[in-house]
Amino acid sequence: MARAYFNVASFNVKNLVLPGITYYGRNRYSDGKYDDKLTWLAEQLFRMDADIVCMQEVFHEDALQALIDRYHGLLAARHSAHKARLDQYDNVFFQPNMDGVHTNPQPGLAILSRRDILEQDHVQDLTQNPIELPEDDGFSYSLTKTSRPMQMAKIDLGKGVSGWVFNAHLKSKRPKYPTNDPASDEDNALFFDRSKAVFRSLALRAGEALALRREILAKTEGSTDPTIVVGDLNDEIGAVTTEIVGGEVPWRAWPGDLKAKYWDVELYSAARSHMRRSEHASLHTHIYNGHYGTIDHILVSQELYYRNRDRIGDVHFVQCYNDHLSDDSMQGAPSIGDASDHGQLVVRMSIDDERLTS
């Protein structure tokens, strides 16, 4: 069977900001720290060797270009001219955060691709089409802006097949306090107000998940092209917000034609598919306060799902680059410094000739 292989990666680059620029009101890189960060990130890109990289926490386009240049320098030094040319990222889609400016940047997104980007789109401002739940039984909800942009790129995957790749970074579990809220100071021990801040983050992440789901459905419902959703979704695969992104799993007792409608828009965890087909027991992309979790995900549509008899491709294996992570709640644990505080997921997939013609 002739296959066109391609690797897709999720890479939270942890505050990729130009040196000397203050971010989050208090942090900034020296020239030396910035150079060290570019070196580490470029080396990690080289190790990952992904054809499509979806990045989160990219604050400045100039910093992104500096990273790409550093990576291309590694290719030139370590590969033949022909191989280096093939492995370059010639297609770059950067999307800044609508709330950021050069001197007060906010986290944006980027997609780096060795394959042609055929179309691109993004969403962050929902003012014209808000996420709204009208008041019912004492509850209502409205969201007019996501905390970070969401990217959508239609990319040539090979064998004449293109697919939509979504890149997202949903709101973290970090409590979201109103400005100057005294509860944000732990010394005040305002426990209920601190719980409200956690709820505020959850509500924002849930709304963002719903906004992302809406974009996925708009681009892919009824399509037979593959859909790939990548990013830092900031919760586990079984969490409600992640399940909103992935879609509803049809009940097994439903008739087949009804289940097929749901399968058409359902997304599947590449990591979970990999572990079901191997003895790979677990993986983690993040450690916080002693808790090891997987909050970075790559989800695929039924066109790439191994249990679908009509698939046109497959997920072959998943690698998680997390050796740089350490549990900083443990005494004496090494600091990760300016490296990423996330593990990087790389999924190897393919489009299969015989399945396209069968």
Q: Which residue has the higher pLDDT, 325 or 212?
A: 212
Beta strand 227-232 with 161-169 is parallel
Helices 31-48 and 61-78 sit at what angle, rounded to 10 degrees? 60
**Domain count of the fold of the chain:** 1
Helix (H) or strand (E) holding 315, with range, is strand 313-321
Domain extent for 59: 3-357
Q: Is the pTM of this model over 0.85?
A: yes
* Residue-wise burial string across 272-291, b where 16 or more C-beta atoms lie within 10 A, e elsewhere: bbbeeeeeeeebbbbbeeee
Tokens of 31: 């020239």
How buried is 26 (Cβ within 10 angstroms: 0-12 exposed, 13-18 middle, 19+ buried)?
exposed
Helix (H) or strand (E) holding 66, with range, is helix 61-78
pLDDT tens-digit map of 192-251 = 999 999 999 999 999 999 999 999 999 999 999 999 999 999 999 999 999 999 999 999
User: What is 133-173 written as a DSSP string?
Assistant: EEEETTEEEEE-EEEEEEEEEEEEEETTEEEEEEEEE---S
Calculate what percentage of the chain has a pLDDT beyond 90: 88
CA distance 18 to 57: 12
Helix (H) or strand (E) holding 84, with range, is helix 81-86
Helix (H) or strand (E) holding 191, with range, is helix 191-220
Q: What is the pLDDT of residue 275?
A: 86
Q: How far does Cα 289 stand from its chain's mean position?
A: 22
Beta carbons within 10 angstroms of residue 240's beta carbon: 11
CA distance 67 to 103: 20
pLDDT tens-digit map of 330-349 = 666 666 667 899 999 999 99
CATH code assigned at 108: 3.60.10.10
pLDDT tens-digit map of 271-308 = 988 888 887 667 899 998 889 999 999 999 999 999 99
